[in-house]
Structure 1
Amino acid sequence: MAYTRTAKLSGGWLDVVFRSEGWLDTSVFSMSMQLPLNAQYLWERISEDVGYNGSRQSGCSNRSAAPDPLEEQVQILTAKWNLYISLAGFSVGLLTVPLLGAWSDLAGRRPVLILTNLGMVVQTVVYLVVMYLKLPVAYFLLGKGLSGLTGDFTALLAACFAYVADVSDKESRTFRVAILEACLGLSGMVASISGGKWLQAQGYINPFWMVLSTSLAAALYTYLFVHESVRTDPSAKLFTTRHHRAVWRLFSTGGRGDAAAERLHRCKLWLYTLCFFVVVGVHFGCRDLYVLYVLTSPLCWGPYLIGIGAAAQNLAFLTSLLGLKALQCCLEESWVALLGLASNITGQIVISIAGTTQLMFTGYGLSFLSMAVTPVVRSKLSKLVDPSEQACVESLCFLVGSSVFNSLYPATLGFMKGFPFLFAAGVLLVPAAIITGLQCLERRNHRDVVVS
């Protein structure tokens, strides 16, 4: 049973939220610095293996030149290894995250937060060994799999949002979740810019030592400064199927009450879950491709420009927070989510046809409100289910999103390089239609209640 420690902290709920942002900022800094570096390292190692010597620069200077078949081979192999590494982590996490979610409800949020950060430490150690010894990139699968055993970034996010849900009420939850997501953007911007510049100056090794130290710092910060938000049960068991059974009962039977209310509850639960699934799946699926997309012709970005581009993506977390706060004054949450989806769709369409740096950054800019969708949907779901039960869906989002987009990219490279982003724009029409329909239904039900 969750309870709030707000009264015991000076500064009230704001102090609690900023304490939670402290460990999240550090963890996200580590993850945000690591992701672009991983993709670029894979590109370079695979280029060496196939004998590609960087002739992509000629393709950038001559846009009418025929595509380099060796460059296409490197792109395909890099996308496939991105997929394999993602599967190694998310497939394991799909089994462990629900266990950790259930365990955190009883044993506390802090043990899960410490465990996931230590798992990312182990992953980074494996990556450093691969880089120092020039081992095959297949060993990255081992590092990602070991991190997946501790829940990886999925469990970390789930525990963070569950923590915020523990210390907030339903009325303010959407904005507090948005604040937490804005922290993702702020730390991601700093990590992306510094990581790109650092890579350009010193190579891969030193930035990965920074990733290792920040993950250790996040675990230490949690242990020393983060207050527990739930009443702990010393007898709580990690290996239990209780949570899996609870999730199955939740989605198969819905809520309690009369049959009509139960059907409505179950319908809303499934539809909002589908919205969450699509939006988060598209976000993480496209995120895996951005570096590879700009690394090759016709854009041919270097490490520093890739870092700036990643920072521009993360800026959407901050602009979405400001937009959400401003729009909530005059619009209902569902309409704010629809504006966020429109922003995301427009940005993906522009990115899909971007052949210049200016057009690519225009696509990033048009996505300025794209991250306003997830706080709204998370808030809607948190009113229907326990926050930790969203972890199962989120793990599946990462797994499916990464699988679909990393498979789609090499399959469509021959006829349209940006097709995955165009596909993402089309898929986002599904949650837009669902949210519109549910909002109209809720307004109709509200009018019926008022009339009666």
Structure 2
Amino acid sequence: MKILFVEPAIFLSAFAMALISPLATQYVYRRIWEETGNYSFSFDSNISECEKNKSSPIFAFQKEVQRKASLFSLQMDISGLIPGLVSTFILLSNSDHYGRKLPMILSSVGGLATTIWLCLLSYFALPFQLLIASTFIGAFCGNYTTFFGACLAYIVDQCKEHKQKTIRIAIIDFILGVVTGLTGLSSGYFIRELGFVWSFSISAVVLAVNLIYISFFLSDPMRESSSQNVTMSCGEGFKNLFYRTYMLFKNASGKQRTLLCLLLFTVITYYFVIIGSAPIFILYELDSPLCWNEVFIGYGSALGSASFLTSFLGIWVFSYCMEDIHMAFIGIFTTMAGMAMTAFARTTLMMFLARGPFLFAIVPMSVLRSMLSKVVRSTEQGALFACIAFLETLGGVAAVSIFNGIYSATVAWFPGFIFLLSAGLLLIPAISLWAIRYTGWDEGGYILLIQEESSQEASDR
């Protein structure tokens, strides 16, 4: 019996990814720490391996470790850029005709292979630089952006009303928030009680279960409705791939094309800042003067992930009294305030309080994706999410690379500079969103326009 719910797959994938991310960051950080000097981490210590006294030689040493860890993260992200872009674009664009399950399966295979490699790397204490090779190879199968883009397209295929799309996408963000929050909260205890090898092994098992669920239990209505398609040659299929994306803009009216471009620019610039600053939080918390250990980092990750839950509740409540675009404004400006507070957080209490303004940080991502899905036809959803995922992959790698480079260059004199920069950069999507409002965004009228165009095309046939 086939199942039409993709939420279990998102749940399992989110758990695995939320566990792997802080584990991998801290594993690399500890390996660099131990290989840079004659200092070793104490895995059962209740305090962080961090020196607050600026006159101590260890203080200068830990700044060097911060710089090396940031640069290594930069190298890893760049290594997966090109294969990730190509695989994401091809898999999601083709999902309009060949189903949404294929990109989900392949990206899950890539994630599982990378996680198994992390297990072997930590078990045999292999050179951690080999992580770059696994990132490069895994990106060919698609990354988490590919998986999430396919899941969103799968959900949009089932939604008929525009409000239903917004709520359903918000529910997905809610699931992500609960899972990543609880996983982030427990990640420190995973490291302390189980160590890196067993913690990576748990992630691998979860990804294997997810792969089984998608492959054998999840239905794919899009593939079933497209089973009668004529087989094309490889060259024709590749040409058709770019043609569908081109027609996404070509078939649009002038106003529709303008809104589509502005919405894509807004969601990518916001995504650029959020994704670029995300990995810096852990390095910032490991460094002086916070000097957090793995348990406190888990608490911080849980509080950060709580924004998924509060964003869902915000969307659910605000959708009854305001339009999507106004919810996006609220999310952008509160996130801007959170970035500014983080830049000057010098105590554990202040760092926890700085998480408060991030309550609606996920709102813009959810509502902007929903707004984008409303300005294209149902047969163009795969091409649309291919564009979004392609741009998110490119923007995400570029963001992490740029932010890590800036952080490594500024950590010695002002570690919080990167967060001040993030607050300033958030003005760009805010201005772009204002331009969308100025062009006359009208949700109800726009949905009606798309429906009329689709009906007209059907009658012409």
Q: TM-score range by the shorter chain?
A: 0.7 to 0.9
Identify which range, 219-228 or 29-38, moves more after superposition: 219-228
Matched, 1:37 2:29: no
Tell me the residue number matched to 2:190: 198
Identify which range, 150-159 or 47-56, moves more after superposition: 47-56
Which whole-Å CA distance do the structure 2 matches of 1:365 and 1:110 have between them? Answer: 37
Which whole-Å CA distance do the structure 1 matches of 2:140 and 2:133 have between them? Answer: 11
Tell me the residue number matched to 2:385: 388
Distance 1:25-1:278 versus aligned 2 partners, 3 A rule: same
Which whole-Å CA distance do the structure 1 matches of 2:146 and 2:368 have between them? Answer: 18
2:416 to 406, 415, 418: 418
State the SS of the aligned residue for 1:299: coil
The correspondence of residues 254-403 of structure 1 with structure 2, limited to 5 A, is: 255-256=251-252, 261-262=253-254, 264-385=255-376, 386=381, 387-389=384-386, 390-403=388-401
Tell me the residue number matched to 1:227: 219
Which whole-Å CA distance do the structure 2 matches of 1:141 and 1:297 have between them? Answer: 28
Identify which range, 100-109 or 303-312, moves more after superposition: 100-109
AA aligned to 2:392 is E
- 8 Å contact kept, 1:26–1:218: yes
Which whole-Å CA distance do the structure 2 matches of 1:203 and 1:445 have between them? Answer: 50
Q: CA deviation at 1:445?
A: 12
AA aligned to 1:187 is V
Matched, 1:213 2:211: no
Distance 1:97-1:59 versus aligned 2 partners, 3 A rule: same
Tell me the residue number matched to 2:7: 21
Matched, 1:122 2:131: no
Tell me the residue number matched to 1:171: 163
Deviations along 1:141-178, whole A, 9 cap, x unmatched? 12111221111111101111111111112231111111
State the SS of the aligned residue for 1:193: helix
AA aligned to 1:265 is Q
Tell me the residue number matched to 2:83: 92
Distance 1:166-1:58 versus aligned 2 partners, 3 A rule: closer
Tell me the residue number matched to 2:149: 158
Q: CA deviation at 1:303?
A: 1.0
Which whole-Å CA distance do the structure 1 matches of 2:170 and 2:34 have between them? Answer: 42
Tell me the residue number matched to 1:3: none
Q: CA deviation at 1:384?
A: 3.1
Tell me the residue number matched to 1:407: 405
AA aligned to 2:183 is A
State the SS of the aligned residue for 1:165: helix
Which whole-Å CA distance do the structure 2 matches of 1:44 and 1:57 have between them? Answer: 10
Distance 1:136-1:175 versus aligned 2 partners, 3 A rule: same
Tell me the residue number matched to 1:51: 37
Moved over 3 A (4+): 54-58, 62-67, 232-239, 248-251, 443-447
- 8 Å contact kept, 1:167–1:229: no
How many residue pairs end up in the alignment? 425
Distance 1:54-1:433 versus aligned 2 partners, 3 A rule: farther
Deviations along 1:206-235, whole A, 9 cap, x unmatched? 110011001101111112321213024374
2:435 to 428, 434, 437: 437
Which whole-Å CA distance do the structure 2 matches of 1:42 and 1:232 have between them? Answer: 45
Q: CA deviation at 1:65?
A: 7.0
- 8 Å contact kept, 2:80–2:139: yes
Deviations along 1:276-306, whole A, 9 cap, x unmatched? 1111111211112111110111111111111
Which whole-Å CA distance do the structure 2 matches of 1:424 and 1:110 have between them? Answer: 36
Q: CA deviation at 1:54?
A: 6.3
Distance 1:223-1:236 versus aligned 2 partners, 3 A rule: farther
Which whole-Å CA distance do the structure 2 matches of 1:64 and 1:299 have between them? Answer: 17
Deviations along 1:166-210, whole A, 9 cap, x unmatched? 111223111111111111111111221222111012321111001
1:149 to 135, 140, 144: 140
State the SS of the aligned residue for 2:292: coil
State the SS of the aligned residue for 1:186: helix
Gaps of 5+ in 1: 1-7, 10-14, 448-452
Which whole-Å CA distance do the structure 2 matches of 1:322 and 1:328 have between them? Answer: 10
Which whole-Å CA distance do the structure 1 matches of 2:276 and 2:292 have between them? Answer: 20
- 8 Å contact kept, 2:50–2:287: no
Q: CA deviation at 1:356?
A: 0.9
Root-mean-square deviation (CA, aligned residues, Å) is 2.5
Distance 1:290-1:431 versus aligned 2 partners, 3 A rule: same
